[in-house]
Amino acid sequence: MLRITGAILILTLALACGATRRADPGEGKGFLDDYSKLEPGGSGEAQLRWISPDADFTRYDKVIIDPVTFWRGSDAKAGLSTEQRQALANYFHATAHKEVSKYFTVVQHPTEGAMRFTAAITRLGDRNVTMDTVSTYIPQMRLVAEAKGLFTGKPAFVGEAALEGRLTDAWSGDLLAAAMDRRVGGKSFKGMDDWADVRAAIDAWAVKFSSNMCRRAQRPNCPS
């Protein structure tokens, strides 16, 4: 496990992100203590999730966002450098902060009425930019790529990322929710740099987490 300290600076990256879609998250990597309670999530939720039946989310108006963790060699296949890991961790933390702060007060220390969000990136896969350009511009190649995705859960030549996360009461430590999700990249003329898909997955996770928690906590101005 490699712990990466969170940072406030947002990584400035040139190209827009391609859309991503959910895929089978596979087996847990050990970040969560108990996977037996996880159940399939609904539309707009993580692929697998558990919500405590005793949790009263209306009690919470603050959130602590813990530093992101890379878990059990998630970057080994992708061959990430220390700088790349730090950049992705910074991007994750900054994106989560931006989305959560729309509905909650982001705090640094445990206090009454605060939840703690802790997440680990458990899998990363880069995309082959040259091959992705070919598969995007030639319809026959795209069809082959998408057909492969039907069998493997991942279209050819695109990136992927998997996440495990938990939400606890920041004061008592009680587990409020847990989730696993994996997203794989789509095809986009605007998102052909190496990590567009991974950034798109991070964006999707941040939006889903913040909007779902907003609705459960019955905060004002929640998205529909």
Query: Of 164, 68, 174, which Cα lies nearest the Cα of 115?
Result: 174
pLDDT at 33 over 80: yes
In whole angstroms, give the CA distance from residue 120 to residue 183: 14
Average pLDDT, the chain: 75
**185-214 per-position pLDDT tens digit:** 765 544 445 577 778 888 989 999 999 999
Contact 185, 155 (CB under 8 A): yes
Residue 222 confidence (pLDDT) = 92
What is the value of pTM for the model shown? Answer: 0.73
Q: In the predicted model, what is the mean pLDDT of residues 16-24?
A: 51
Residue 147 confidence (pLDDT) = 54
Which residues, 6+ apart, have CB-to-CB distance to 91 below 8 Å? 10, 11, 13, 199, 202
**39-90 per-position pLDDT tens digit:** 998 877 888 999 999 999 999 999 999 988 877 555 554 566 777 777 888 8
Q: Which CATH number fits domain 49-216: 2.120.10, 1.10.357, 1.10.3470, 3.40.50?
A: 3.40.50
